[in-house]
Structure 1
Amino acid sequence: MAKQIEQGKFLIIECTAGELMNAVGSDLCICDWCGKPYLSSDKGCYIAALNQWYCEECYNEWAEQATWYPEDADVERTNFEFYAPRLGIRI
């Protein structure tokens, strides 16, 4: 089940590839960083600031060095508010 997770000020949704595929009407989920396709049961994270889904491994690498910029907050919030309800998250 998709859920919002804590990562500093970032708006992040942890979800499976299948949940994301259902939300966007796709039959394939590919990590936006490493480019590998994932099974519907594989977990990853939607990063609203980037408007991208990363597999767990890539997300963990990104989270270690990510910097939040206040000038991105409006776009990040817009992206989050678009995907959160589609993934079953109340905002």
Structure 2
Amino acid sequence: MVNPNPTARRNNTNAARICTIVAFVFAVLALLLNPLIFGIIGLVLGIVGAVLGDKPLGWYAAAANVAAIVISLLIVSAIVNN
């Protein structure tokens, strides 16, 4: 069966790639600025990117955001406790 709208798949993958790239940017921002706000937003964007079709990179972006949250919170707690 031929897809009646071939641009629908391309737009879907473009949206997935954009969500994934923005999720990686938010992972860096979570590491440097505010881990809870940027990390959670990046986590959601990574999952959305993976669900929309950018499977491996979307999940990597979600994992990078979780790692950024944990690392940033560990650094902050180490600085505060000293």
TM-score, shorter chain, exceeding 0.5:
no
TM-score normalised by length of structure 1: 0.29
More strand by percentage = 1
More helix by percentage = 2
Higher gyration radius (CA): 2
TM-score normalised by length of structure 2: 0.31
